[in-house]
């Protein structure tokens, strides 16, 4: 199927899913994310990152509460809680050849994701260095634009890794949010249609969210 047709199909799926969420046909699941971000990150970068991740998952009935290791959870229990670590090199920015090859990762134990997501900011930043802004290099853009680019890219990488956890799948799709690789320009583009779930993912997501809901505090099926 041509890329244009795939995007149109994905857009229709997202629209139908969003309508179902709005009509109450899909139960909204609450995901609490404990975000252990580097202290050097600006508020603008963090805000852009968290909003991007939330915006990608919102149409599928997933709402995210952002926490920090030093802040108490907000009122109302989350159906599931995930920890996101974002380690930086202790020796400062490394060259591209010395960086970890993957943008992020989730560890699976006996086929089950363990609830800890690792995002590698330096590798993500290296991936978007070739991105263009008004025909100029990313590094020549104003500070605010650079922070928006970096935040958007980090948010999309996090949304992808969160997908591995929420879908409980190691595998990738050929297109969409769960594809195996991303180009730098895709990570920073304002259009996020390329970061939608594909049809095969929706059934897996529904099953997984139902499991979270059944075992979350306050649900009829919860057993401490």
Contact (Cβ atoms closer than 8 angstroms) between residue 167 and residue 204: yes
Three-class DSSP category at 62: strand
Residue 72 scores a pLDDT above 80: no
Residue 9 scores a pLDDT above 50: no
Whether 174 maps to a domain, the answer reads: yes
What total number of domains does the chain contain? 1
Contact (Cβ atoms closer than 8 angstroms) between residue 12 and residue 198: no
How would you class 44 by CB atoms within 10 Å of its CB: exposed for 0-12, middle for 13-18, buried for 19 or more? middle
Whether 94 maps to a domain, the answer reads: no
Whether 224 maps to a domain, the answer reads: no
Whether 162 maps to a domain, the answer reads: yes
Whether 183 maps to a domain, the answer reads: yes
Residue 41's domain comprises 3-89+99-212
The residues with which 118 forms a beta bridge, in sequence order, are 85, 105
Regarding predicted confidence, which is higher, 164 or 79?
164
Question: What Cα–Cα distance (Å) separates residue 115 from each residue in 84, 92, 167, 185?
Answer: 9, 28, 12, 29
Distance CA 38, CA 137 (A): 25
SS (H, E, C) 84-112: EECCCCCCCCCCHHHCCCCCEEEEEECCE
Query: What per-residue confidence (pLDDT) applies to 211?
Result: 82
Whether 156 maps to a domain, the answer reads: yes
Q: Using one digit for the tens of pLDDT, what is the confidence trace for 76-125? A: 557 788 999 999 977 555 444 556 689 999 999 999 999 999 999 999 99
Query: The tokens of 57 are what?
Result: 């998952």
Residue 25: left if φ>0, alpha if ψ -120 to 50, beta else—which one? alpha
The residues with which 62 forms a beta bridge, in sequence order, are 29
Whether 50 maps to a domain, the answer reads: yes
Q: What is the average pLDDT across 17-43?
A: 72
Whether 220 maps to a domain, the answer reads: no
> Residue 19 belongs to a domain with what CATH number?
3.40.390
- In which band, very low, low, confident or very high, does the pLDDT at 210 lie, cut at 50, 70 and 90? confident
Residue 144 scores a pLDDT above 90: yes
């Amino acid at each position: 199927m041509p890329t244009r047709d795939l995007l149109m199909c994905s857009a229709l799926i997202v629209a139908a899913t969003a309508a179902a969420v709005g009509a109450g046909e899909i139960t909204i699941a609450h995901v609490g994310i404990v975000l252990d971000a580097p202290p050097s990150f600006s508020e603008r970068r963090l805000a852009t990152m968290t909003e991007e991740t939330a915006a990608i998952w919102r149409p599928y009935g997933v709402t995210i509460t952002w926490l920090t290791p030093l802040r108490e959870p907000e009122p109302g229990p989350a159906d599931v809680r995930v920890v996101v670590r974002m380690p930086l090199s202790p020796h400062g920015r490394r060259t591209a050849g010395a960086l970890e090859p993957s943008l992020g990762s989730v560890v699976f134990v006996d086929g089950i994701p363990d609830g800890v997501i690792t995002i590698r900011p330096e590798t993500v930043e290296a991936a978007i260095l070739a991105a263009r802004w008004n025909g100029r290099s990313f590094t020549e853009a104003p500070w605010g634009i650079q922070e928006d680019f970096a935040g958007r890219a980090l948010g999309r990488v996090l949304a992808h890794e969160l997908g591995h956890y929420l879908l409980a799948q190691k595998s990738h799709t050929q297109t969409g949010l769960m594809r195996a690789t991303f180009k730098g320009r895709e990570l920073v583009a304002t259009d996020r249609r390329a970061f939608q779930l594909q049809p095969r993912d929706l059934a897996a997501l529904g099953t997984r969210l139902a499991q979270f809901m059944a075992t979350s505090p306050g649900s009829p099926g919860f057993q401490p």
